[in-house]
Structures are given as structure tokens and as C-alpha cells.
Amino acid sequence: MDEFSKVSQPGMVYLALSAMLRGMQPGAQMPSYKELRKCLGVPQRSIDLAYERYEAEGVLTRQWGRGTFVIDPFAGGTFIFLTDALYLTQQTGMYSLLEFIAIDELLQQHYPSSELELIVLHSNEGSGDSRDNDILRRIRGLNQHMRLLGAFAGFCIGSQEVRATFRELKIPLVDLNNVSTPYSVLATRMDAELELGLSHLVDEGWKDIAIVCNSEGSRKEVEAYIQSHGLMARTAAPTLRLYAIEEGFSRHWEEFGIRFIKDFLKYKPLPEAFLILDDVICKGVLYGALEEGMQLAERCAMVSVSNEGIPIRASRPLTCIEYSAKAVGQEALSIMQQCFTGAETIERNTLRPRLVVGKSSCRADYPQVRV
């Protein structure tokens, strides 16, 4: 059994130096043995063993009488992309895979001596704690056996304990979905989504428009935005109806969409157009209408927020408000690079969606793209 086959003192030194190396450039000189012994509280032998492993990986070179220098701070290192197995069966999960591919291609350009691994987590559907414990167990295990450079979260990772673990291990974590975290990609713009979808429907001449939101909180945000920005006056739409899907965890939104449209068809007249601000809910709305014998996209104009490359099946090509997975990947890598440099303030760019127009909302029969 070698010195690194378990969490030994040399192994701990190896991982501690990994966090230091991420912020260093090729050619930079490592701290002296004296400084490292004082900082890490370990004997020189443990430092030597860690250095030998980094030399074998092509990360460091030791020059007699001069010191130890960085060759490639990312050689032999691994980035991880986290996603939940339960999400892989849904549109959000498939979009996570597109984000994974985009980030992998970018990492190969910027850090060709590193690799990106997809970590699929299996969790109990009914328990957020179970998912968090799974993450904690897997991350600590991975960190013992490989040099983790950084992590990308392709789903909402949950508790503060999970994020604290990444901070404790000094592994930068960039979240691609939960926009409330400090290191997250801002790829949700309700204002831009609303303006793109609503303006398009009004331009096409639809006068009675129902806007469907994924929660009561979102419905209130949409209502406040419409009022504060004068969208009613600007779009000249005589009738806007706002609806909220019942509160619940996102993996149930398709079911909520089915129940919503079935109740809607029983008790309310159909609008001329639907603007649905969530792709999973839209999928449920279409399925629910079909179960009631109605091809909804044949009866109403429809626009939905959707994920690039993940079509929502409808009887006519659906007009979608979507975000580029490549743009999300570029922004995620930019945030990761700022983490490596130790930036005190992370600069984040809010991504703008684009409108991909299909026959589901157009009176004309030609497709177009509007950014």
C-alpha cells in the first residue's frame, strides 16, 4: 500500500497544495519547505512525497539549488459536473447534459491537461436530505482519490451544508441553476422572457393571452413587472390573464401542468394564446389537453420557455424562449476562472434568452429567430 492509497499525511499535503496550485501560473515558484512546514504543520518528508506525485503528473518540476516551479497547475486534475439521476428523465436533466458537453469542450480548449467527469447522483425522491448526504459522501470519497480542481452543479444542490463542504475542501463550485448562490450562472431573466413572448404574441395579432407561471410568487413578479413597465399600454393587449401552478417541487411540475389544463378546460374559456413560463409545465399542459381529446396547439397560439435542443412535442412546432447551453457553459467557466485567481468580487453576466419562432404562435408559415 503506497502513501496515497489512504487519507495519509502526504495525501493531505497533496490535496492542500492542489488548492494552492489552482491560483498559480506556469513558471511560478512554490513556497519554500520552511514556509510549507510552518503553514501545513507537517514534516518535510510528507511535502517531498506530495511533490514527487506532482512531478510524476507533470504539474511541478524541482530544480536543484533554485526551488520547485509550476509546469501546469491543471495537469492531472479533474473537474466534476454534478447532476441528479431523477432529473435525467426530465427535460431539465437532458439540458444539463448539453451544458456538460459545452463545458467539456471549453475545458479542453483552456485546460487540456485536465478532464471533466459526469457524476450522476442517485437519491430518494422524497428526501432532500438523502440527496445532500449522497453528495457529501461522493465528494469526500472523490476528493480522497483524485485531485479535484472544481465542480459544476447542473441542478439545485440543496443545503448550506453541501456548499460548506465544498468551501471546506477548497473546491470552487459553480451552480448552473440556483441563481441565489454567489458563484452561479444567471441564466434566468423573467423580464426578458416575458417581453420576448408577450411582444411576439401581440405582434402576431393575438388579443386574449393567458400567462402561466410556475408558482404564486412568480405570478406576482410577472404582475408587478407588467404594471411597473407599462406592458399593457405598450403592447396594446386588451386582455391578459395570469395563472399560477400550485406550489411544489419542480420534478412534479409536469403533473401540475396536466391538472391545471384539465381544470382550465372545465371551468374557463380558452384564450387566443398561452404564454407558459416553464418548459416542464408546458409539457404537462399539452399532455393534459391531449388526454381530454384536444390538440391544444391547434386551438390556441402557444409560446413556452424551453431548453435549447430539447423540443417540447406539440402538433405544430412550438415557439420557444430558450437559452444557449454553450453560452451557459462559457459563463460557468468564466466564473470558475475568477475563482482560481482569488477574485474578491465575481463578475457575472446575466444571459439573455432568444425567441425561436415556430408555427404554434404565428399566423405566417415561416420560422425565424429573434434574440
Instruction: Read off the pLDDT of residues 111-150 as tens digits, 9 standing for 90 and up.
Output: 999 999 988 876 544 455 666 777 788 888 887 778 899 9
Residue 109, pLDDT > 70, answer yes
Q: What is the value of pTM for the model shown?
A: 0.79
Superfamily holding 190-323+354-370: Response regulator (3.40.50.2300)
Could you tell me which CATH number the domain at 78-184 has? 3.40.50.2300
Whether domain 9-70 has CATH 1.10.10.10: the reply is yes
pLDDT for position 5: 44
4 or 349, which is more confident? 349
Amino acid (1-letter code) at residue 135: I
Fold match between 9-70 and 78-184?
no
Residue 249, pLDDT > 80, answer no
Residue 273, pLDDT > 90, answer yes
Question: Across residues 250-272, what is the average pLDDT?
Answer: 85
Instruction: Read off the pLDDT of residues 186-206 as tens digits, 9 standing for 90 and up.
Output: 766 788 888 899 889 988 889
Question: Across residues 307-333, what is the average pLDDT?
Answer: 80
Residue 70, pLDDT > 60, answer yes
- Spans of all domains in the chain: 9-70, 78-184, 190-323+354-370
Instruction: Read off the pLDDT of residues 334-359 as tens digits, 9 standing for 90 and up.
Output: 999 998 888 778 888 888 888 988 88
- What mean pLDDT value characterizes the chain? 82
